[in-house]
Structure 1
Amino acid sequence: MPSKSSARLAALTVAAVCSAASLVVLTSPAHADSVRIHDVQGSTRISPYAGQKVTDVAGIVTGVRTYGSSKGFWIQDPTPDDNPATSEGVFVFTGSAPKVAVGDSVLVAGTVSEYVPGGTSSGNQSLTEITKPVITVVSSGNAVPAATVVDAKSVPAAYAPAGDTAAGNSINGLSLEPATYALDRYESLEGMNVQVADARVVGASDPYTELWVTVKPREHANRRGGTVYGSYESQNTGRLQIQSLGSTTDFPKANVGDTLTGTTAGPLDFNQFGGYTLVANRIGTLKSAGLERESTQKQHRGELAVATYNVENLDPSDATFEEHASAIVNNLKSPDIVSLEEIQDNNGATNDGTVAADQTMKKLTDAIVAAGGPAYEWRSIDPVNNSDGGEPGGNIRQVFLFNPERVSFTDRAGGDATTATGVTKVNGKAQLTASPGRIDPANEAWRSSRKPLAGEFVFRGRTVFVIANHFNSKGGDQGLTSQYQPPARGSEAQRHLQATAVNTFVKEILGAQKTADVIALGDINDFEFSETTKILEGDGALWSAIKSLPRSERYTYDYQGNSQVLDQILVSPSIRRGCDFEYDSVHINSEFNDQISDHDPQVLRFHP
């Protein structure tokens, strides 16, 4: 998933950047006189006038965007037709600050274009626009057409139609069925003035002045106010992104569970980073739900506490060390072993060949001591420069933290960035040939991706094998609002290979010692119900312990208003069989606008 600002343009708060766009032109340029907006929009996702010039398109200005790279305004026909599939609103792209005001009655001439935010390779749906406009203001101060209410009753339960197989599963050419499919309902309102009322926040405000609400408060709700993504068929149709047409300084700083009370209204846009977006010229009043960060229980003397925590590209220049240290000490209660993901090298994104991360780790372990925590020791393996993906120059890797007063690490020389650790059998028990060591680093599965880190720990005389993972990200997958339905998840292919490699290694350990305690954990970058997880679990070698939680509590990450699982702790049969374990997804980040990482940490406590 995206990390910091690497996945998007930091200055982008609008639909998309024109220079990054692609146009869908389906017909040869022609001329059409005095068409109405609903004629331009048509009853499919692609305008029947795409590529054609139109004149005297009439409408009332409902919103003006004067910032960013997608400057323009929305117009809406105050006299709609009787076809619920045809939108009465459209965006007029000017490229510079428009010289119109809300309430102006205008006539627009220009070329109808289908703009694809992010380009056609993104798989995104297109946004119907009028470009290169010539604008005539007929009158000013007119009443704006009443906003269409978007609520639980008006948005269907089914998410999207299946795409046309003859068109590569695209839904672009399908007639809209707004009473049947949620995406069709939103598409039938594209460009129109819409409103939501008393909407609960399901995705916290982000640095790009966006948040997510739901118009279906009961849809897969969890006790903290979020909306849980529990399967590929539960896309959560009530989710809607909110941006603002006003000052970004006035945008509410909302957490999950908060409510935008009253009315939030404005034109319905479509953008690259979330699809259908209500661009609000009126935002409801924020009512806090008082959401608090969670803390887990302290492990008992005979319990081993093992955690995973993605600290999001942590390097010595970051200002979050004290906060991360406090989270580990106070919220995670100082686990005995912590797998850290996204530890960067000593100069972060500076791309100069530096790969060591000892300064990063010293700063973190010192901060943990200062926060009242243990004097953690750590083990890791420096990667080959720029070979493990992530931010160029950052050289992210997994690192084991461990409390030497509670657990010992078995150091066994031989592991490095390119040498694989193996499994041997000594005196009837499994043993790693190198600890710490990397699992099959030359395997094509790990190309431009993090290699798993394996290590042996001893707790109260019992050996525990821990494998720290950070699988291939979902970057490049088609979004839920894609024009292709179901969306393609191309990034899965590499994760499947990675899951196979880790499962194979775990089976080697269990083959040498059937009763071995093995834990594979980290940022798996996939759901607990995914094929990746099924491959990783195999025929019982591992089991994802987050499935011990109620379905409504299974989440570690919030993406586009969907609370979902990316981080997992998987355990071998010896740990699972006794059911003598506790699992906790500790929600300290994903639901909050002031998060220090985009991931929530996970903790497993058990008796080896």
Structure 2
Amino acid sequence: MFTVFLRASVRVPRLTLVPALMHVPGGNPLPSRSSARLAALTVAAVCSAASTVVIAAPAHADSVRIHDIQGTTRTSPYAGQQVTDVTGIVTGVRTYGSSRGFWIQDPKPDADPATSEGVFVFTSSTPKVAVGDAVTVSGTVSEFVPGGTSSGNQALTEIVRPTVTVVSSGNAVPAATVVNAWSVPTAYAPAGDPAANNSINGLTLRPGKYALDYYESLEGMNVQVSDVRVVGATDPFTELWVTVKPWENRNRRGGTVYGSYDSQNTGRLQIQSLGKVADFPTANVGDKLTGATAGPLDYNQFGGYTLVANQLGTLQSAGLERETTQKQKNGELAVATYNVENLDPADATFEEHASAIVNNLQSPDIVSLEEIQDNNGAKNDGTVSADQTVQKLIDAIVAAGGPRYDWRAIDPANNTDGGEPGGNIRQVFLFNPERVSFTDRAGGDATTAAGVTEVRGKAALTVSPGRIDPANAAFTNSRKPLAGEFSFRGRTVFVIANHFNSKGGDQALTSQYQPVARSSETQRHQQAALVNAFVKDILDTQKNADVIALGDINDFEFSDTAEILEGDGELWSAIKSLPRSERYSYVYQGNSQVLDQILVSPSIRRGCDFEYDSVHINSEFNDQISDHDPQVLRFKP
């Protein structure tokens, strides 16, 4: 329970801004996996140890109203100043975590839609007020940046170091502002000011034109959504995502698809709760919260604008079920990719992963596994072998009724491939020896680069398994691609298992910098270029070679990363054979999106005799065993 509260309310340095101060753009890790989300807590703790508070010379302002404090931009005109006797009605109280405090709202709003009538009062200790109290608050106006200024996040206007007087109790709470499909604009955010590093902080809010401006104009206010569909399942931190726009890029399973950089999906909103953890709904994508969900509108590090509910709608299940792909025919080769999320022998998910591979994926002939950890997981003692991890999974697959897979992998050098420190994650090939054989060529290790040669007029790998250019700077602190040569019914198939650099360091969609910076792309672009060059070497040697590059690409099918990987037709991302609404393998902040891909060479694509399936067994469910959905390709070599 403590972990849940900490995730929802962790605080990092408070920075009190004067209007002349601007944040410099930076890169706080944006988690693309659950492990990265937990790591953000550690980052926050480190940042808070080096906090700096900048306060302007005190300037007392008597009897200012909340809308005066909030102003018409994202930064308060009173930032750094003392304010006295600010009046309001308490609309919500947060008694847990490191962000204890309460929200107040002025029951007598002004006529300007750009100015919020609510504000958070940060007390640090448990507040001694109750919802419905009429209070006066004196203190310092502060702009708190969740995640720290380097994160690029917007600032949350607060009153800190407060003196609070309860004037009366039992007052009616100001009516909640209804947030719905008609109130949220279609356009997402204004372009930032080039003179301020593309920050939107200093721009006058236009809540009738931009969704981020609309939400900002309600910061701290009591808001309400009604009969909303869940587009991000309940996570371990007691939060979920809904949409107030039912038809915005909807897919058949109830999610909201992220299909381009201009498709941020403005109807998404995160929901947390001020109530008991046990009372929070356990929801899957497609479920509904019927009736009203209401409470103050907050802004936090892990999702931006968040409705912190003191009233939750009733959960209505949509009955979403996990998918099962088709079984490959005798003449078809089934190749899959599956990120098993930091799997090590101490995990309790082996039986579930085995069942997924046998029953939902129908025992593919070749499975590329990503995030297989070494034999003692995150224990950082120099262990790099993963034979116990892999064998435990193979045994579980047999127990689930599947084939006894064989496997190939290359152990990384200790702590060189990124991921959880001490975990030494790597890609592993599983293959069914009853259906497919592996061509072993000795010499592949953590530092030896695989190459392409010609044997009897056909392409062959110099080492198999082997790693692609492992010493290249593009793979520093990142997983090195694993190449293997397989044979199916006398036909050679080259498979390259990838796990590209994560999105850590990219700015959030709700960043104060618009358009957002995606700094992590630089390394992925370099990695994609190297893999493409390796595939090109194969195809230059044998034009009709069957080549598959697959794995956790950590980028979208429409991204520059995918375009570089595809090159001049050397590869093609087969997920694009699906309708746009079906293209997703991961759900992040309510956006169903592509991270996992299987790319194929022209010989496989041209025949059009293949089937692609993104098998949705994890990303949409609250009880997921991994945060990724596996992908399966069936074709006739």
Q: TM-score range by the shorter chain?
A: over 0.9
Give 1:35's aligned residue. 64
Compared CA separation, residues 26 and 500, structure 1 to 2 (3 A): farther
Give 2:398's aligned residue. 369
Q: Percent identity?
A: 83
Q: 1:85 aligns with which of 96, 104, 114?
A: 114
Structure 1 residue 264 displacement after superposition: 0.2
Compared CA separation, residues 227 and 48, structure 1 to 2 (3 A): same
Would you say the 8 A contact 1:25–1:114 is kept in 2?
no
CA distance in 2 between counterparts of 1:239 and 1:469 reads 31
Equivalent AA in structure 2 for residue 235 of structure 1: Q
Give 2:326's aligned residue. 297
CA distance in 1 between counterparts of 2:634 and 2:413 reads 34
Structure 1 residue 249 displacement after superposition: 1.1
Would you say the 8 A contact 1:22–1:115 is kept in 2?
no
Q: 2:424 aligns with which of 395, 402, 405?
A: 395
Give 2:436's aligned residue. 407
Give 2:360's aligned residue. 331
Q: 2:94 aligns with which of 65, 68, 83?
A: 65
Give 2:25's aligned residue. none
Q: 1:541 aligns with which of 560, 570, 579?
A: 570
Structure 1 residue 563 displacement after superposition: 0.1
Structure 1 residue 124 displacement after superposition: 0.2
Q: 2:144 aligns with which of 115, 122, 137?
A: 115
Give 1:252's aligned residue. 281
Give 1:357's aligned residue. 386
1:270 and 2:270 aligned = no
> With structure 2 as the length reference, what TM-score do the two structures score?
0.94
Unaligned runs of 5+ in 1: none
Give 1:583's aligned residue. 612
Equivalent AA in structure 1 for residue 247 of structure 2: R
Would you say the 8 A contact 2:35–2:420 is kept in 1?
no
CA distance in 2 between counterparts of 1:11 and 1:26 reads 26
Equivalent AA in structure 2 for residue 478 of structure 1: Q
CA distance in 2 between counterparts of 1:20 and 1:216 reads 41
CA distance in 2 between counterparts of 1:22 and 1:284 reads 39
Structure 1 residue 215 displacement after superposition: 0.2
CA distance in 1 between counterparts of 2:545 and 2:166 reads 77
Equivalent AA in structure 1 for residue 479 of structure 2: R
CA distance in 2 between counterparts of 1:11 and 1:135 reads 30
Q: 2:527 aligns with which of 488, 498, 520?
A: 498
Q: Secondary structure at the match of 1:85?
A: coil
CA distance in 1 between counterparts of 2:377 and 2:45 reads 29
Structure 1 residue 504 displacement after superposition: 0.3
Structure 1 residue 27 displacement after superposition: 4.5
Structure 1 residues 161-203: Cα deviation after superposition (integer angstroms, max 9, x where no partner): 0000010000000000000000000000000000000010000
CA distance in 1 between counterparts of 2:155 and 2:118 reads 15
Q: Secondary structure at the match of 2:620?
A: coil
Structure 1 residue 4 displacement after superposition: 3.4
69-78 or 2-11: which moved more? 2-11
CA distance in 1 between counterparts of 2:36 and 2:610 reads 37
Give 1:7's aligned residue. 37
Would you say the 8 A contact 2:47–2:148 is kept in 1?
no
Give 1:482's aligned residue. 511
Give 1:449's aligned residue. 478
Would you say the 8 A contact 1:274–1:560 is kept in 2?
yes
Give 2:351's aligned residue. 322
Aligned alpha-carbon RMSD (Å): 1.5
Give 2:191's aligned residue. 162
1:493-572 to structure 2, matched below 5 A, reads: 493-572=522-601
4+ residue stretches of structure 1 with deviation over 2 A? 1-12, 15-29
Compared CA separation, residues 10 and 388, structure 1 to 2 (3 A): closer
Equivalent AA in structure 1 for residue 277 of structure 2: T
Structure 1 residue 24 displacement after superposition: 8.2
Structure 1 residue 473 displacement after superposition: 0.1
CA distance in 1 between counterparts of 2:114 and 2:394 reads 59
Would you say the 8 A contact 1:93–1:130 is kept in 2?
yes
Unaligned runs of 5+ in 2: 1-30
Q: Secondary structure at the match of 1:195?
A: strand
CA distance in 2 between counterparts of 1:583 and 1:440 reads 29
Q: 2:243 aligns with which of 210, 214, 223?
A: 214
Q: 1:44 aligns with which of 51, 62, 73?
A: 73
Structure 1 residue 17 displacement after superposition: 11
> With structure 1 as the length reference, what TM-score do the two structures score?
0.98
Would you say the 8 A contact 1:20–1:119 is kept in 2?
no
Q: Secondary structure at the match of 1:86?
A: coil
Structure 1 residue 16 displacement after superposition: 10
Q: Count residues in correspondence.
A: 606
1:70-219 to structure 2, matched below 5 A, reads: 70-219=99-248
Q: Secondary structure at the match of 1:40?
A: helix
Give 1:348's aligned residue. 377
Would you say the 8 A contact 2:242–2:271 is kept in 1?
yes
Structure 1 residue 10 displacement after superposition: 9.1
Would you say the 8 A contact 2:151–2:507 is kept in 1?
yes
Q: 1:243 aligns with which of 258, 261, 272?
A: 272
Equivalent AA in structure 2 for residue 225 of structure 1: G
Equivalent AA in structure 2 for residue 75 of structure 1: I
CA distance in 1 between counterparts of 2:217 and 2:171 reads 24
CA distance in 2 between counterparts of 1:299 and 1:542 reads 23
Structure 1 residue 31 displacement after superposition: 1.1
CA distance in 1 between counterparts of 2:214 and 2:117 reads 13
Structure 1 residue 87 displacement after superposition: 0.1
Structure 1 residues 535-555: Cα deviation after superposition (integer angstroms, max 9, x where no partner): 000000000000000000000
